[in-house]
Amino acid sequence: NRPDGEAPDESQGPEIEAAAKAAGLDYLAIPISHTGFSEPQVAAMQDALDAAEGGVLAYCRSGTRSTLLWALAQARAGADPESIAEAAHNAGYDTSPVRPAMDMLAAQAKS
């Protein structure tokens, strides 16, 4: 979830995609900048998680954006926001910046 060009010392998407494919892994870019999350990004993450046939590795500079995007996608899929927040907390992340959106997405999924 790290956009190309975020840091000059980081590998760029095409290079990472080539390495992933060489290792037999699928690769999907859902870049998230400092401006926040959009509905299409959350939907893309939910779709990617739903389509995955095993583990998923989402990455960004610190893991925070990837965790928050995962949390939003889980809520959009109807998961309980409290359970999502607990799982993120147990991994060392705080979902409070997106908790209102998580609550809204989970409520929409159940309606």
Rounded to 5 degrees, what are φ and ψ at 15?
A: -70, -45
Do 11 and 29 meet the contact criterion of CB atoms below 8 Å apart?
A: no
Q: What pLDDT was estimated at residue 11? A: 85
Q: Which amino acid is at 100?
A: P
What's the whole-number average pLDDT of the chain? 93
Q: Residues 15-29: pLDDT tens digits?
A: 999 999 999 889 999
pTM of the predicted model as reported, rounded to 2 decimal places: 0.90
Q: Residues 85-102: pLDDT tens digits?
A: 999 999 999 999 999 999
Q: How far apart are CA 105 and CA 19, in angstroms?
A: 34
Locate the domains of the chain by residue range.
38-110
**SS3 of residue 57 by DSSP:** coil
| 81-90 and 99-110 helices, crossing angle to 10° | 140
